[in-house]
Structure 1
């Protein structure tokens, strides 16, 4: 495993003495099972979820021993993953025999890891709950206008950690939104999702990262930190909230987890002295198309934005035999990846992406194979680099998670004895880039607590000319990592 999964970056390197001072008994290290080796995928994507808990009037002196540093008080241990072997440079018989041995060892190690827990597709309760959460939360999160991108997986893990830090009806609302019966089931589900999604073999990557950032002036319950490390691979840090040092330490951690796609150009969050804690959940996803676009076929054309504005954009072109959908109000087709799919949805003229997303079953319909048509798909895909910032407070409230925003009703007693504590803000920042080689995307979720005409129906040709607002879905198996709406490029 890369070094940044065993330690924080330079700004987060506490000395052993500092760690000892921070926790009294020393660091908490939780060993986890080996991670799954990476299967090549279509895009690079990052999601970061931050839940910020606030408290009233902590104040305090922020010039103490943590100023400019972050004390690591719980760091999960990530074992090394098998690396996909490089093909031999010289095609001798002996070289190919060694390569075959390495290849067999790689896949055996990968299968051993996958056999440790049930696969996602063999866990119907989780698969159904995740699909329901994704459908409902996506419809809520992507309501609105302009470009917008949402990662349901990032929010899922952030909410799972939130459930660990809350109690009573506050926790129950989170469990209900995720479809879990209790914490034990949620922990099992988190393990399955990690085994399903986490992958890194040197050719493409899907990485998940979790952490909790704690106010140095507040006492927290150690068992919760241990549970976060054990069940969610979450590191714990103490920082002087309300300082540039604390904000920079968090940004540096996010930048390292997301390979610089988020956090490298400034703060991801501005804390205050009343910030109790921050829960951060990252998702990084990178790979290329199964069949890259030929850049010699890329040429300028016009993209018409939702407001009618026309822009000259580079369009990538290809034609492939594949399956596609033609439903009431839209048509959809997927581009193959080296381990997943990226589906593009083109609404009919007069139908907006928001109209489609208003149906919570919309994403599920995209996977109904009985409606697929096999034929020729003619692709015209704009190269784009889009970003968005979503306010997720209405999304959480729409999911029934309301107590966390109410200082009189919220219950954070599993984490701390401080009262009252409540969730003050929730947002997700995301960015997606598409070119001839693949996709690169990033998202960060922040939650703060304060103490043309469609072809004929019988046609076997699907013209996916994405020259007007469209949607995309980045998927790993049955798990949807990102959903985006591109209104303008």
Structure 2
């Protein structure tokens, strides 16, 4: 029996590595559910038309965010998807952090790619995905929230470059449900591109990777590893993010000098370290220090979290969740800070395979060829042709220097058939001379776009 695979692929311009996941848990019973509405029209066959030219997510008429000249996000609905994404992101990071060395991931990219797949899931499969992704509200509300947030984050008046691009790559002979295609295009700006998985799986893989590379300014390469796209692949859902932002106040390059960085309690290396003294939002509490440095325009920032102990980053990672980060951000106060932060670049050569981790989190039915229910995406007459998720890949990149930050991410889901100035105060010290964590955040919604660990700034 050949069941078509729906392979999710996730790539991010922050950095992560790769592994394979071929496990299929035993089938589980399914019970009827109303998590997704049934399709309201006939399925449509993919025709081999040219690829759509519009790639970045446009503000659709019913999903555009209302934001002022400052690009702020005020509507409550735009924050809901950000909150859900953060909850899922911390759950997933607890499984990714076991990887040694530098890490970078984009929870926003992974959530978006999986939410597109969830939009076509039904029954227990949809229920499991909703629980793991922490999605709240009806499918229509979730998609509306995601669409409004994406449009707001790309507000053209913001003095940073932030691009979100989504696309569906579908087998040209396979029939997809038109309501699914319409909803993903309206909410995520994700057009369907017809490809030939059956006769040309490898050229199709190369084509998808080239699209990701183009959307991420060539920062995310080879998102989908060789050999992972098969003749029975039927759909790949891809999200790509690109971020380029200058610091509100850049670091002076002349002050950047080599300084020792303690990789662990016994080893240190000289690394290129940026220096400045400025009034920034800072807090020291509970065995850690946190510092926020804003990007131009003030809508986004990078949060640095540094444990007091040289070897304290593992314990810090274990203790953090979305609520603790929110509390930490609330505790930040403007203060004069003497800052020393290393320049760093995280650019992994391989993608990270997330299938095993997602199943450990409870998303088992979607990866099981016998129990997956994605009939909202395609509902073929033969059960041998139904879709399931074969793998989810993620890759990210981040680079921090005196001018600012460049970051990118891509995600793919592959489916196969089967304030006021205070009184004078003491200057605070924030010297990141040992492993620390970082978070690139949207300040209005708190959405974490990229986050990771710097264990060794000299390693790329």
- Identify the TM-score tier after normalising by the shorter chain: 0.7 to 0.9
Q: Give the CA deviation at 1:290.
A: 0.5
2:178 pairs with 1:222: yes
Give the aligned partner of residue 352 of structure 1. Answer: 312
Mapping 1:31-70, distance limit 5 Å: 46=13
User: Where does residue 211 of structure 2 map in the other structure?
Assistant: 253
Q: Distance in 2 between matches of 1:120 and 1:299?
A: 44
Out of 230, 234, 243, the residue aligned to residue 276 of structure 1 is 234
Match of 2:68 among 86, 89, 111: 111
TM-superposed CA distance for 1:344, in Å, is 0.8
- Could you list the runs of 5+ residues in structure 1 that have no partner in the other structure? 1-44, 55-65, 82-108, 452-458
Tell whether 2:368 aligns with 1:406: yes
Describe the superposition over 1:97-146 as per-residue Cα deviations: whole angstroms up to 9, x where unpaired: xxxxxxxxxxxx9638979xx73557665454344333333333334321
TM (norm. structure 1) is 0.71
Distance change >3 Å, CA 488–CA 307, structure 1 → 2: farther
The unaligned stretches of length 5 or more in structure 2 are 1-11, 23-45, 61-65, 418-424
Distance in 2 separating the partners of 1:53 and 1:312: 38
Write out per-residue CA displacement over residues 170-195 of structure 1, whole angstroms, 9 at most, x where no aligned residue.
11222222322321111121122113
Aligned partner of 2:411 among 445, 457, 461: 445
CA distance in 1 between counterparts of 2:279 and 2:346 reads 29
Residues 404 and 53 of structure 1: is their aligned pair in 2 closer, same or farther, counting only changes over 3 Å? Answer: farther
Closer, same or farther: CA 48–371 of 1 in aligned 2, 3 Å: closer
Equivalences, count: 394
Shift of 1:356: 1.8
Change (3 A) 1:252 1:170: same
Matched, 1:425 2:391: yes
What TM-score do you get using the length of structure 2 for normalisation? 0.75
Q: CA RMSD in A?
A: 3.5
Measure the CA separation in 2 of the matches of 1:217 and 1:253.
Answer: 21
State yes or no: 1:209 paired with 2:165: yes
Deviations 1:35-93 (A, max 9, x none): xxxxxxxxxx83799xx999xxxxxxxxxxx9xx9743796897699xxxxxxxxxxxx
Bigger proportion of residues as helix: 1
- Describe the shift of the 1:412–1:110 C-alpha distance in structure 2 as closer, same or farther (beyond 3 A): closer
Q: Structure 1 402/307 Cα, relative in aligned 2: closer, same or farther at 3 Å?
A: farther
Q: CA separation in 2, counterparts of 1:53 and 1:139? A: 18
Separation in 1, partners of 2:376, 2:276: 55
- What CA distance in whole angstroms lies between the structure 1 residues aligned with 2:205 and 2:371? 29
Larger RCO: 1 or 2 (CA < 8 Å, sep 6+) = 2
Match of 2:9 in 1: none
Q: Distance in 2 between matches of 1:422 and 1:344?
A: 39
Change (3 A) 1:165 1:291: same
Counterpart selection for 1:183 from 139, 161, 168: 139
In 2 relative to 1, CA 369–243 (structure 1 residues): closer, same or farther, beyond 3 Å?
closer
Q: Which runs of structure 2 are paired with 1:88-127 in the superposition (5 Å)?
A: 111=68, 119-120=74-75, 125-126=80-81
Q: Which residue of the other structure, out of 332, 336, 343, is the alignment partner of 1:383?
A: 343
Give the secondary-structure state (helix, strand or coil) at the position aligned to 2:51: strand
Work out the CA distance in 1 between the residues paired with 2:323 and 2:427: 23
The verdict on how the C-alpha distance between 1:423 and 1:308 changes in structure 2, with shifts beyond 3 A counting, is farther
